[in-house]
Amino acid sequence: PLLRDIFVPLAAGAQISIPAANQLTDSTALLNWFAQEKITCTHLTPAMCRVLTASEQDTRLPTLRLAGFGGDRLNGDVIQALRAVAPDVAAVNFSGTTETPQVMAVYPVPAHAVVDTGAALSGAVPIGRGIEGVQLLVLDEKFNLCAPGCVGQIAIRTPYLTEGYISGEDSGRYVVNPHHRDVNDRLYLTGDRGRFSLDGLVEFLGRMDQQVKI
């Protein structure tokens, strides 16, 4: 996140604006801050977007043109609430892990009220497909690909995978691709539950363990 959210904007000639800590928990203060700073691009968790859009104050964000989401399951009602205050915003759902690192999958949320899978926008928004050179996989307990609609563990096949943890313990997260004999062909098991849609998009359904997101 440090590289993506700080160095990339600066390298592109953009200005970074950071709200005060007390504004992050006050819906009206955060909304006014976005308006006063004329924010054009933002990176939000779904929970933070709920804070931003919860204010009863009739303030609009006409300058906000791009909102990237990550860090948790994104539901369509979050997008609808954001579009109510920022009608020109383009929303993109991102997915990635610290171990991969950075964004490994991207899903631009359609501008109309129904996502590509045909599900109502009030439902879960997919995390999409892997970026170039990256595969998002949904695997069963035997590392076979799950059929569309069947729930399994999301795994990432990427050339950008880190070597491992400093401690040397990986908790079984890093595995050699069992369908190939190349030891350099590795998968990262995310611990996230997911499923394929009929058109090949991946939907994030939550954690397989009790990991807490803060």
Q: Are 86 and 61 in contact (CB under 8 A)?
A: yes
Longest dimension (CA), the chain: 59
What pLDDT score does 57 carry?
93
The predicted-structure confidence for 165-209, as pLDDT tens digits, reads as follows 888 887 789 999 988 878 889 999 999 999 999 989 999 998 888
Q: Is 98 helix (H, G, I), strand (E, B) or coil?
A: coil
The predicted-structure confidence for 12-42, as pLDDT tens digits, reads as follows 999 999 999 999 999 999 999 999 999 999 9
Size of the chain, expressed as the number of residues it contains: 214
C-alpha 124: how far from chain center = 12
Q: How far are the Cα atoms of 6, 8, 11, 41, 49 from residue 15, in angstroms, in the given order? A: 9, 11, 10, 10, 21
pLDDT band with cut points at 50, 70 and 90 for residue 111 = confident
- Look at residue 114 and tell me whether its pLDDT is greater than 60: no
Mean pLDDT of the chain: 89
| Helix axis angle, 46-53 to 27-37, nearest 10° | 90
CB proximity list for 14: less than 8 A, separation 6 or greater: 41
Strand partners, 75: 124
What pLDDT score does 115 carry?
45
What is the pTM for the complete model shown? 0.86
- Please name the residue that has the structure tokens 């308006």: 35
